[in-house]
Structure formats: structure tokens, C-alpha cells
Amino acid sequence: MPKFAALVLIVLAALLVLGRLVQAAGTGQAERESGGATLVALGAVLIPIAYVAMMQARVLGFREATVLFVFALGALLARRGRKGLVALAGLALLIGIGFNYLFTQVFYIDLPRAGWF
């Protein structure tokens, strides 16, 4: 499931990057004007790749990787101040721990664990 979700996010973010590049080239805008959105889209591609890679390499387990993934992607997309990051950290913890509980205790799905535990 994490690989499929990452694949969907990667494809959508790659389409966003391509669309921004085509739009910037077609309208003659300076690269600096579209550079911010392009970097956000690039980050939206790289963060899911890192999310899946950390679990695949057993660097982090599902719970820890999901908390970091939600926080990193949310911080990238939200662009809010410290108050937003505090709320985002709480949401990331809730999602990471909650999904781990849901998948392991309700649906009985084996999730990736870190190799050093």
C-alpha cells in the first residue's frame, strides 16, 4: 500500500512539474517566477520516494516514516508559520500512530519495521 500511494503521488507531482515547466516556457515567464512552484512540486516527488525508500531499506518502520512523511510533505505544501507546524506535528503523530494501530490491530497487516529493532 505505501508503494502504491507513493507511486500515485510521484506521478501527480511529476505531472505538476512538467505542467509548470511547459507553462513557464510557453508564456515566456522568467524561471525565477515559476521556480518556487517547481521546487515545491519537485519536493512533492522526492518526499514520497524517500518515504518508501526508508521503509524498504529498513531505516525506519512504517509508524516513524509515516510521521516524518506527513510532517515533511505538509510543511512543504502548507508554507505556514510556527503555529501551523505545531498543529501539523500533532496531525502527523496522530496519522502515523493511528494508521499503524489501524493496520496492525484492526486489519492485521504486516507493516515494514526498522531493521535495528
11, part of any domain: yes
Q: Rounded to an integer, what distance in angstroms lies between the CA atom of residue 45 and that of residue 9?
A: 7
**pLDDT for the residue 34:** 54
Low-confidence ranges of the chain (pLDDT < 50): 31, 117
45, part of any domain: yes
Structural domains in the chain (count): 1
pTM, two decimal places: 0.74
**pLDDT for the residue 106:** 93
**pLDDT for the residue 114:** 82
Long-range contacts of 66-75 (CB under 8 A, 24+ apart): 66/92, 66/95, 66/96, 66/99, 66/100, 67/92, 67/93, 67/95, 67/96, 67/97, 68/92, 70/95, 70/96, 72/47, 73/44, 73/47, 73/48
**pLDDT for the residue 92:** 96
**pLDDT for the residue 33:** 54
113, part of any domain: no
**pLDDT for the residue 35:** 61
111, part of any domain: no
Domain that holds residue 75: 2-106
87, part of any domain: yes
Q: Which amino acid is at 104?
A: T
30, part of any domain: yes
